[in-house]
Amino acid sequence: MTMTEPTLPGVHVRVLPVDETEADQSALSPDERQRAARFAFAADRRQYVTAHGMARSLIAELLGADPAGLRFAAGGGKPRLIEPAVADLDLSLSHAAGIAACAVSFGGLIGIDVEPLARRVAPRVARRFLATDEAAWLEARPPECRPEDFLALWTLKEAFAKALGLGIQVGFGRFSLRPDPPRAIHLPREAGAARAWRFAQWRPTPLHVAALAWRDGLCGERLGKV
C-alpha cells in the first residue's frame, strides 16, 4: 500500500486531517450549517464541516467558481452538484475520526472512503459484511494482520458502494474485492464490466487508510437496479 494519493485521469482527490480546530463554515449553505449544528459531538461536526468545506473549495477550484455559490441536491445519499450543472462531474465524500476526504471525477463514477487504522471491528460483525470468499481470505491472513487487512478491504468495499451511489443498500456480500493490490474479484451485475473499474488504496496519514473506486465513462448513464 502506498503513502501517496493515486493518479487517475480526470480524478482529483483531497484529504485533510481534522484536529481540535473549528473548521471554517463560511462557504457552507444554510442547510449544511444547520446539519453541522445538529451533531451531538464536536468531533463529528468538525469532520463534517471539513469534508463539505473541502468539497466546495476543490470543486470551485476545478470549475473556476465561488465555493459558496455551489449548490448540491438535497435529500442525502451520494452528493450531487446541481449548480452549476456539470453533466460529467461525479463526487464522493468521506469523514472519520481525525480525517476528511473528497474525490471529484470528470467522466466517471467515483467513490472514496477513509477509516482510522485503529478502528476495531469484531470478527463476527466483520463477517456479516463480507462475501464468503472475502471472509475466507481474511481468515487465512495472519491473526495479527487481520484488523488492518479488514479495514483495507472494508474501505475498498465502501468506496465501491459509494461510487455506485448505493451505499449500504448495495448488499456488501454480493461483491468481492481484495486489497494489495486493490482489485475486483466479482462485482454485482449492475456495476457493469469489472475491467472498467479501477481501485486504489493508500495511507493518507500514518493513522488512516483510504480507498478509491472509479469507473470510467459511466457518468450520466443509468445503472441497473439492484
Ligand X SMILES: CC(C)(COP(=O)(O)OP(=O)(O)OC[C@H]1O[C@@H](n2cnc3c(N)ncnc32)[C@H](O)[C@@H]1OP(=O)(O)O)[C@@H](O)C(=O)NCCC(=O)NCCS
Region from 2-10, 141-149, 165-173, 216-224 binding ligand X, contact rule CB under 6 A? 165-173
Region from 22-30, 63-71, 123-131, 212-220 binding ligand X, contact rule CB under 6 A? 123-131
204 binds ligand X (CB under 6 A): no
Q: Are 63 and 69 in contact (CB under 8 A)?
A: no
User: Within 13 Å of residue 211, how many CA atoms lie on the same side as its CB?
Assistant: 29
Q: Is the dihedral of CA 115, 117, 122, 128 positive or negative?
A: positive
For the chain, give percent helix, strand, coil, nearest 5. 35, 30, 35
113 binds ligand X (CB under 6 A): yes
220 binds ligand X (CB under 6 A): no
Indicate the residue among 64 and 76 with the shorter CB distance to ligand X. 76
The CB-nearest residue to ligand X is 167
Using CB under 6 A, which residues numbered 171 to 200 contact ligand X? Answer: none
Among 16, 109, 161, 210, binds ligand X (CB under 6 A): 161
Region from 2-10, 23-31, 133-141, 161-169 binding ligand X, contact rule CB under 6 A? 161-169
Q: Is 177 helix (H, G, I), strand (E, B) or coil?
A: strand
Q: Where are the alpha helices (DSSP H) in the chain?
A: 30-38, 42-63, 123-128, 132-139, 146-164
List the end-to-end C-alpha distance of the chain, in Å, as a whole number.
Answer: 31
158 binds ligand X (CB under 6 A): yes
Enumerate binding residues for ligand X (CB under 6 A). Answer: 48, 51, 77-79, 92-96, 113, 121, 125-126, 129, 158, 161-162, 165-168
